[in-house]
Structure 1
Amino acid sequence: MRIAPPPPPILSYIFSLLQKPLLTLLSSEMGAVVIKLIALALTTHICFSITSSSSSLYSVSASVSASDDRITELPGQPRVSFQQFSGYVFVDHNNERALFYYFVEAETDPASKPLVLWLNGGPGCSSLGVGAFSENGPFRPSGNALVTNEFSWNKEANVLYLESPIGVGFSYSANSSSYDGVNDKITAEDNLVFLQNWFLKFPQYKDRSLFITGESYAGHYIPQLTELILQFNKKEKIFNLKGIALGNPVLEFATDFNSRAEFLWSHGLISDTTFKVFTSACNYSRYVSEYYRASLSPICSKVMSLVTIETSKFVDKYDVTLDVCISSVLSQSKALVPQQMTDKVDVCVEDETVNYLNRRDVQRALHARLLGVNRWLVCSNILDYELLDLEIPTINIVGRIVEAGIPVLVYSGDQDSVIPLTGSRKLVHRLARELRLRTSTPYRVWFAGMQVGGWTQVYGNNKLSFATIRGASHEAPFSQPERSLVLFRAFLQGKPLPQDF
């Protein structure tokens, strides 16, 4: 038997909330979150004293101590001086719903560096496989080994990668019904509970400056999580939130998606005729809306057929300049050997990541297990996400975050046709105008590594910023790691992007 820990800090906050009339509390927006936290905190206090002989996963993930989650060494990794941790954090003990995380401390002086939470999008794609092992983590798979990423973000911060929502990657539920009907609200609440319980494992980070970053559909995840954090902080400051950064984010359905036609046309990927029908007969937001409602009209079907044929499946829509990985396009079994490339970017890195994370020795080192699935996948095939949430704008939430005094950075890899920079730039400029934020840094070039890194514009003395990353894809740290790191460093420090070499 383990000695039960003292009541978690969140209990004092929960008890203060319970002084309110019960019906008032339960009918409020925070009611559902509070109920989750009550269940979590009580089971944390009671159940952590119990060791489970039937499940090694339970005994590892239920431990309050971070030492059980420490990674001794990942198979094939180079020698490093920083610590790594990974494991499970319960967000719902009753249904045994647990989120998987991978945490890397800063390369140097982690005690003085901020904490950064990284979320990938999808919805339903892995922050472990995409963010940590393909983009900005300390290693990238190469054959049977890991190679050092010299532009890892843990040079500047302690970085926490979260596989969210439940059903993504190694995150799991004992009840498969938990994978059905998942939506933005559930995801935000689970992520909030995860953070609260993660701080029980790592109390030394509780008061650390916290930044939340991510890309793509994290344009939904992050603003909604941030709003919950701000609501909690009004009652009792639990999170020392200092800023959020959104990469190629989905912020407003129509603006983001309808920017695609102009991007494809201006890059020579579709003809004048197709551009005309793609902007008049059926734009992309209409097509997606009809598709997700299973009511695809003949005209939209025809238009998208034209677009698909002209853009070609051999052009990566997430980076129109990047050669595709042939094995990913034609076969999931890697029957074809990818052509040898001279580029520094490994265009088949996703295949290598999938292979690496499906190795049993790697899963043991990560304290991870596959539950309910046969293989770890980059994007979940068991998660039934409410895709109509895509149409709900989050740019208005971003506005409230800015008004609350939290700096917001929106950045765009400029070779992404999925969420093009033109839509993001338009949304940020419109938001600045609505918030009456004056331009404090006019649109200008910025530099990284003796080259142009991109362009930037800042509003309201760093309250709201927009930046492009030149030559970058939808996953900017993957295709332009050095430029992304320069941007990340400036964001954490609250400093202007470099104006010269």
Structure 2
Amino acid sequence: MAMARGVAAMLLLASVAVPAAALVDQESDRIRELPGQPPNVGFSQYAGYVTVNQARGRALFYWLVEAEPAAGPIAPLVLWLNGGPGCSSVGFGASEEVGPFRIRPDGQTLYLNPNSWNKAANLLFLESPAGVGFSYSNSSLDLYTGGDAKTALDAYAFLVNWLERFPQYKYREFYIAGESYAGHYVPQLAQLIYEKNKGIQNSKINLKGFMVGNAVTDDYHDYLGTFEYWWTHGLISDKTYHNLKATCLNESATHPSSDCLKNLNLASAEEGNIDPYSLNVVGSYWADSPISMLPIYQELIAAGMKIWVFSGDTDAVVPVTATRYSIDALKLPTLANWYPWLEVGAKFTKD
């Protein structure tokens, strides 16, 4: 039965025809060559705008980097979202994290990233929400009424409309990935797609799972792990550590109380020039930010979705301690014990 479903999926992918109008739109978005790009790049690139709200003139910018030929003709599609709120997926995700190029010290030329994710998948970088990077809205009100729910709805509208421009990616295995505050964006978008796909046998958005790194997941456990990380790494005093735990643990990370904010500022002063970025300015206009993503994890795990959570051990903004507390709170069974992950740059893992 599983083999039959796999064959059916491959036939469905092979049968997706690209209308002439879509081909014209694709060609208008094609990137022939980036400034300073190395010669003989073996993959195609596209970039442009997709309108998500016609009435308000709200449009999101994307950059598609197709997979290298070695990845095969039906390599999966991965949507990458940076966090913040307010971080550019082009400026950070594509240029400094998982994208195909790196910028040389001269600031003028590029070189190929040997660890680019497009060696295994087609990468779709999305500037989200409107106001981030190249994405825009013709209504200034949109810039002051952002929030998690609106971001998810716009990202879903983007995907629906983008797939009309690139119909060859309909029914393709699809994953969502991101880091930091995308720990909200990614599971919330995954949940929305999961709900929209209910009752549809062959979904155009063929969501298989998601991946988040150093993710904002659950305010209580994120705060607990972050304060512990700062304290155990000698960044803050004993007094500030205890005051943070007393005033912040039951607070919203996006809209903290004045007492919590006071102690966060004290911690920042004690850290000196080690400066974790502040969300206060964006947070002032961020309408909704649920305190926990764990209920979404539970729902999607129960639905059989693949979820991979990874965390770097030198991130002081959303540290590995916070990730471990959040994952432990799910009380999932351990399938494989802690073991060394022997890859360059990797440390330990547990399934």
Name the TM-score class by shorter chain.
0.7 to 0.9
Taking the TM superposition and a 5 Å limit, the aligned residue runs for 1:320-399 are 386-387=285-286, 389-399=288-298
- Structure ID, larger Rg: 1
Q: Which amino acid aligns with 1:393?
A: S
- C-alpha distance 386-442 of structure 1, shift in aligned 2 (>3 A): farther
Write the distance in 2 (CA, Å) between the matches of 1:386 and 1:247: 25
Q: Distance in 1 between matches of 2:151 and 2:56?
A: 16
Shift of the 201–190 alpha-carbon distance from structure 1 to 2, 3 Å rule, reads same
How far is 1:286 from its partner? 4.2
**Structure 1 residues 167-203: Cα deviation after superposition (integer angstroms, max 9, x where no partner):** 1111112222222212111111111111111111111
- The whole-number CA distance in structure 1 between the counterparts of 2:55 and 2:69 is 39
Question: Is there any run of 5+ residues in structure 1 with no aligned partner, and where?
Answer: 1-47, 50-61, 319-378, 459-501
Cα contact 1:181–1:384 (8 A) shared by 2: no
Within 5 A, what are the aligned runs for 1:191-202?
Answer: 191-202=155-166
Indicate the residue corresponding to 1:400 in structure 2.
Answer: 299
- Partner of residue 457, structure 1: 350
**Given the alignment of the two structures, is residue 141 of structure 1 paired with residue 103 of structure 2, yes or no?**
yes
**Alpha-carbon contact 2:61-2:126 (below 8 Å) kept:** yes
- Look up the match of 1:412: 311
Contact 1:64 1:200 in 2 (8 A): no
The answer to whether the Cα contact below 8 Å between 1:181 and 1:385 also exists between their aligned partners in 2 is no
Aligned to 1:374: none
SS of structure 1 residue aligned to 2:42? coil
* CA–CA distance in structure 2, aligned partners of residues 78 and 285 of structure 1: 51
Residue 267 (structure 1) shift: 1.1
Show the counterpart of 1:77.
37
Look up the match of 1:103.
64
The residue aligned with 1:307 is: 267
Inter-partner Cα distance in structure 2 for 1:176 and 1:63: 33
Structure 2 letter corresponding to 1:179: L
CA distance in 1, matches of 2:234, 2:219: 24
User: What corresponds to 2:174 in structure 1?
Assistant: 210
Q: 1:422 to 1:82 in 2, by over 3 A?
A: same
SS across alignment from 2:288: helix
Q: Is the contact between residue 136 and residue 151 of structure 1 (CA under 8 Å) also seen in structure 2?
A: yes
Partner of 2:7: none
Counterpart in 2 of 1:190?
154
In structure 2, what is the Cα distance between the partners aligned to 1:287 and 1:384? 10
SS in 1 for 2:198: helix
1:227-275, Cα deviation, whole Å (9 max, x unpaired): 1111121132222111100111111112102322210111122233333
Amino-acid identity (%):
44
Kindly indicate whether the alpha-carbon contact (under 8 Å) linking 2:148 and 2:288 is maintained by their aligned counterparts in 1: yes
2:340 matched to 1:441?
Answer: no
Tell me which residue corresponds to 2:211: 245
Question: CA 1:76 to 1:196, structure 2 compared with 1: closer, same or farther past 3 Å?
Answer: same
Q: Per-residue CA shift, 1:399-426, capped at 9, x if unaligned? A: 1011111011111111112112122112
**C-alpha separation in 2, matches of 1:190 and 1:102:** 16
Aligned-partner residue type, residue 156 of structure 1: A
Structure 1 pair 144/273, CA: closer, same or farther in 2 (3 Å)? same
Query: Structure 1 residues 152-161 or 86-95, which shifts more?
Result: 86-95
Cα deviation, residue 223, structure 1: 1.1
**Distance 1:74-1:448 versus aligned 2 partners, 3 A rule:** same
Structure 2 CA distance for aligned equivalents of residues 137 and 269 of structure 1: 32
Which residue in 2 is equivalent to 1:89? 50
- For residues 275 and 237 of structure 2, what CA distance do their matches in structure 1 show? 18
Amino acid at match of 2:320: L
Quote the Cα distance in structure 1 between the aligned partners of 2:329 and 2:253: 24
Name the CA shift for 1:81/1:210 in 2 (closer, same or farther; >3 Å): same
Indicate the residue corresponding to 1:264 in structure 2.
Answer: 230
1:224 Cα deviation from its structure 2 partner: 1.1
TM-score w.r.t. structure 2 length?
0.85
Return the letter of the residue paired with 2:222: D
Mind listing any 5+ residue stretches in structure 2 that lack a counterpart? 1-19
Distance 1:106 1:385, change over 3 A: farther
CA distance in 2 between partners of 1:190 and 1:307 (Å): 35
**Partners of 2:252 and 2:219 in 1: CA distance:** 12
Distance in 1, matches of 2:253 and 2:183, equals 18
Are 1:123 and 1:385, in contact at CA under 8 Å, matched by a contact in 2? Answer: no
Q: Deviations over 1:75-99 (max 9, x none)?
A: 0111211100000111122222111
What are the residue-to-residue correspondences of 1:16-35 with 2, within 5 Å? none
* Structure 1 counterpart of 2:321: 422
Q: Indicate the SS of the match to 1:67.
A: helix
Q: SS in structure 1 opposite 2:87? A: coil
- Backbone CA RMSD of aligned residues: 2.6
Contact 1:180 1:384 survives alignment (8 Å): no
TM-score by length of 1: 0.60
Alignment-derived partner of residue 12 in structure 2: none
CA-CA distance at 1:312 after TM superposition: 1.0
Q: Does the CA contact (< 8 Å) of 1:182 and 1:384 recur in 2?
A: no
In 1, Cα distance between the equivalents of 2:138 and 2:266? 44
In structure 2, the CA distance between the partners of 1:116 and 1:275, relative to structure 1 (3 Å rule), is: same
